[in-house]
Structure 1
Amino acid sequence: MGHNRDTAMHLLLLVFVLAFIIWSAIKPVDYLTWAAEVLPAVAGLIILIATYRRFQLTTLSYIIIAILAVAMSIGGHYTYAKVPLFNWLKDAFDLSRNHYDRLGHFLKGMFVIVIREILLRASPLTKGFWLSIISLSLSLAIAALYEIIEWLSVVVIKGKKVSTDFLGMQGDMWDAQWDMALNLTGAVLALLLLSNLHNRLLQHKR
């Protein structure tokens, strides 16, 4: 019964994410920017679907992945610098920039839970200090890789609008550092707040 409930929940999450991806592909601000932002999420979904029977993650991990995929779809549709709600917040509170990009990188820190699960289930690591440190390190490494990819997009597509929209610096020379710091903050909070729940859910995956 529990297994059937989990499967139904996972299917619901998949349908929810696919609906957002389809919506995001309808008249985005720029299709190249949309592809750069959303196709990684699509690739991740394909991998998750292909490996579902052999390596099914906990529902918590799938919820986190769904949140990230939805956030990427919204960012891809509008570009991270032009999400309407955060433009309104920028104007209403006289902020220096549209902060959706900041929120996105903070949320990406939650992916540390998925990393933690893979390490626990597919490596010799056990729960404890070193699991947290290695999970955080991998989360930061992924964040840094993403910043390198953003930088390369400007180098490769130099002078084109898509590189600016994908990078989303909004004139902030410390944007990459902010992004990685927020990713780390999100990851630390996710480990502190969700590890106990994650451990309970993992007991059913053994």
Structure 2
Amino acid sequence: MNSDKQRKIHVLLLSIVTIVFIWSIIKPKSYLDWLAEVSPAVVIIIIMIATYKKFRFTTLSYIIIALLAILTFIGGHYTYSEVPLFNWIKDEFDLQRNNYDRLGHFLKGLGAIVVREILLSFTPLKKGAWLSSITISIMLAIAALYEIIEWLSTKVSKGGQGSKDFLGMQGDIWDAQWDMFLELVGSILTIIIFTKLHDKLLRKKSDQTK
């Protein structure tokens, strides 16, 4: 895939993400919760755009970033515990909770590819077991940090409705542990499934920059 074609794909991804972002900001359930949910994704996208000419990720990484941003914008619009499709699944299959947040945390494990690419590009780490282990550890640390931020939000707002929507625990006292576990599993599976493809794309990117 040549550089011009890749750039067109990247622009298309950004356009789709922008459309979903605009939709998400129109009458969300709570603007405060929306802001808390989408802010990290928006910051990451801004950084990606600002550094695009200096450093370009593989298209796989951009696809992952776009997917995770879209999932975040949807969750921010409805709140993670009230996404309609998953409410329907909950009712249809008599589940105890809306599992959109469970899916979201599992899919966040895809971010391991982005972290892996950053480590290969900006650190002395080489491909192999250590790289995979450190990548997965960073993903678990990010998941834990997010849970700490959610916990702190309840302390700042003193358990208000906004913090409850942000937490999305739905009565599960082990929600934080589940979220971290699912992101860990997602990260491990991502490394197992996508490493060979990622390495191939990295080689192609390296050849294009020579």
- The two structures share one fold, judged by TM-score above 0.5: yes
For 1:153 and 1:110, the matched residues in 2 are separated by 26
Amino acid at match of 2:136: L
For 1:104 and 1:165, the matched residues in 2 are separated by 15
Q: Which residue of 1 aligns with 2:202?
A: 202
Q: Which residue of 2 aligns with 1:119?
A: 119
Q: Which runs of 5+ in 2 are unaligned?
A: none
Q: Which residue of 2 aligns with 1:53?
A: 53
For 1:20 and 1:107, the matched residues in 2 are separated by 18
For 2:60 and 2:158, the matched residues in 1 are separated by 40
Deviation at 1:160, TM superposition (A): 1.8
For 1:180 and 1:38, the matched residues in 2 are separated by 19
Question: How many equivalent residue pairs?
Answer: 206
Deviation at 1:204, TM superposition (A): 2.2
For 1:139 and 1:111, the matched residues in 2 are separated by 8
Deviation at 1:161, TM superposition (A): 1.1
For 1:148 and 1:192, the matched residues in 2 are separated by 28
For 1:79 and 1:174, the matched residues in 2 are separated by 19
Q: Which residue of 2 aligns with 1:109?
A: 109
Q: Which residue of 2 aligns with 1:74?
A: 74
Q: Which runs of 5+ in 1 are unaligned?
A: none
Amino acid at match of 2:178: W
For 2:105 and 2:141, the matched residues in 1 are separated by 13
Q: Which residue of 1 aligns with 2:129?
A: 129
- Structure-1-length-normalised TM-score: 0.98
**Moved beyond 4 Å, runs of 4+:** none
- Structure-2-length-normalised TM-score: 0.97
Deviation at 1:158, TM superposition (A): 1.3
Q: Which residue of 2 aligns with 1:96?
A: 96
Deviation at 1:159, TM superposition (A): 3.4
Amino acid at match of 1:174: W
For 2:188 and 2:67, the matched residues in 1 are separated by 17
Mapping 1:27-38, distance limit 5 Å:
27-38=27-38
